[in-house]
Amino acid sequence: MKAYELKEAGSVDQLQIIEIAKPVATANEVVIKSKAISINPVDIKTRMGKSLYNEFKQNYSPIIIGWDVSGVIESVGESVTQFKPGDEVFGMINFPGHGKAYAEYVSAPASQIAKKPTNISHEEAAAATLAALTAYQILRNYIKTGDDILIQAGAGGVGHFAIQIAKIMGAHVRATASAKNTVFVKGLGADEVIDYTRQPFEDVVSNLDFVLDALGGDTLKRSVQIVKESGKIVSLPSGAIIDEINELAKSRNVEAIFQMVVSNGEDMQQIADWLETGKLKAEVSQVFTFGQLRDAHTAVETGRTRGKVVVKF
């Protein structure tokens, strides 16, 4: 089968197609014939030598990145009872481990996937994996009905799922986006959209129960200041909560938290249920072919893509 090997840290040219053996399912695994995969900022960071790169370099050869997949089960291990060949499934595979999703076939623990809802495409299903799980795993820990919250980067992969999930959970949701995305973000159910290019968000919002920060840096620092006493802020980029942020948060009696998404089939099932009932929708703004995967990386690297970028087979 064809797979993309990450040869070295660097530009998209380091992603090169190789021919390797198809994976074989161990007892608790399934092998999925991929129909679509999605690309995340962590893929870009790892390709550039940050994030998971060093760990992968030490432990795996070839390095095959990618975690988000939707496809059809080809074979199942002897202990797998909940899935059978031919089932359409989706999930985030082995994150933060060696997911190996940039390939025509991928093996996945059966405990990490769910059946793909029949009302959505493989492209939409592949999109509703890492980003959707991140939003769900964080929001269920930190918000409750009636909370007044802000989602930074509401038009992004995590942000667009977070707005919808926070509305399902009964929060009052504000989100930031640039002018070109305000109609889109409003359509996701946001009660208020702040065009961060026209006015600093801290001029129009304060005293919040919770902020989901997708950006880190200066945005995170300014975001801490709009959370009320005893409120919480979760920052998504790893390493963003530096000492200065912790001190600022502590001085305001705000809790600043980093949480990493983890593969989980039960959580995927919740995502599947919401997708099936139409409560949750995946925005797929760009679709590339497997041969164009490097172009998909270049798009996500801009940090300005709407919803999700997907690669189809």
Ligand X SMILES: NC(=O)c1ccc[n+]([C@@H]2O[C@H](COP(=O)([O-])OP(=O)(O)OC[C@H]3O[C@@H](n4cnc5c(N)ncnc54)[C@H](OP(=O)(O)O)[C@@H]3O)[C@@H](O)[C@H]2O)c1
Segment lying near ligand X (by CB under 6 A), choices 40-48, 56-64, 221-229, 266-274 = 40-48
Instruction: Name which of 105 and 184 has its Cβ closer to ligand X.
Output: 184
Q: Which region among 3-11, 102-110, 244-252, 256-264 touches ligand X (by CB under 6 A)?
A: 256-264
Q: Which residue is nearest to ligand X (CB)?
A: 156
Binding positions for ligand X, 112-131, rule CB under 6 A = 130-131
Reading the block at residue 237, the tokens are 């980029």
Length of the chain, in residues: 313
Q: Tell which one of 64, 125, 236, 254 touches ligand X (CB under 6 A).
A: 236
Stretch binding ligand X (CB under 6 A), from 8-16, 74-82, 113-121, 149-157: 149-157
Full 3-state SS string of the chain: CEEEEECCCCCHHHEEEEECCCCCCCCCEEEEEEEEEEECHHHHHHHCCCCCHHHHHHHCCCCCCCCEEEEEEEEECCCCCCCCCCCEEEEECCCCCCCCCCECEEEEEHHHEEECCCCCCHHHHHHCCHHHHHHHHHHHHHCCCCCEEEECCCCCHHHHHHHHHHHHCCCEEEEEECHHHHHHHHHCCCCEEEECCCCCHHHCCCCEEEEEECCCHHHHHHHHCCEEEEEEEEECCCCCCCHHHHHHHHHCCCEEECCCCCCCHHHHHHHHHHHHCCCCCCCEEEEEEHHHHHHHHHHHHCCCCCCEEEEEC
Total number of residues that touch ligand X (CB under 6 A): 31
Among positions 15, 42, 113, 254, the unique one binding ligand X when judged by CB under 6 A:
42
In whole angstroms, the minimum distance from the beta carbon of 42 to ligand X comes to 5
Alpha-carbon Rg for the chain, nearest whole angstrom, is 19
User: Based on CB atoms, which residue is closest to ligand X, 30 or 37?
Assistant: 37
Question: Which of 14, 129, 219, 263 forms a contact with ligand X (CB under 6 A)?
Answer: 219
In the bound state with ligand X, the residue whose beta carbon lies nearer, of 104 and 191, is: 191
259-278 binders of ligand X (CB under 6 A)? 259-261
Considering the rule CB under 6 A, would residue 245 count as an interface residue with ligand X? no
Among 6, 151, 158, 224, binds ligand X (CB under 6 A): 158
Q: Is 163 in the site for ligand X (CB under 6 A)?
A: no
Between 148 and 301, name the residue whose CB sits nearer to ligand X. 301
| Residue 284 in contact with ligand X, rule: CB under 6 A | no
Which CB atom, from 40 or from 75, has the smaller least distance to ligand X? 40
By CB under 6 A, tell whether 66 contacts ligand X: no
Which tokens is 82 given? 């909940």
Closest CA to 169 of 144, 196, 201: 144
Q: d(Cα 87, Cα 303) in Å, to the nearest integer?
A: 34
Nearer to ligand X, 26 or 298 (CB): 298
Are 151 and 166 in contact by the 8 Å Cβ rule? The answer is yes
| Binding status of residue 196 toward ligand X by CB under 6 A | yes
Question: Among residues 121, 178, 292, 298, which is the contact residue for ligand X, using CB under 6 A?
Answer: 178
Residues forming contacts to ligand X in the complex (CB under 6 A) are 40-42, 130-131, 134, 152-153, 155-159, 176-178, 181, 196, 214-215, 219, 236-237, 259-261, 300, 303-306
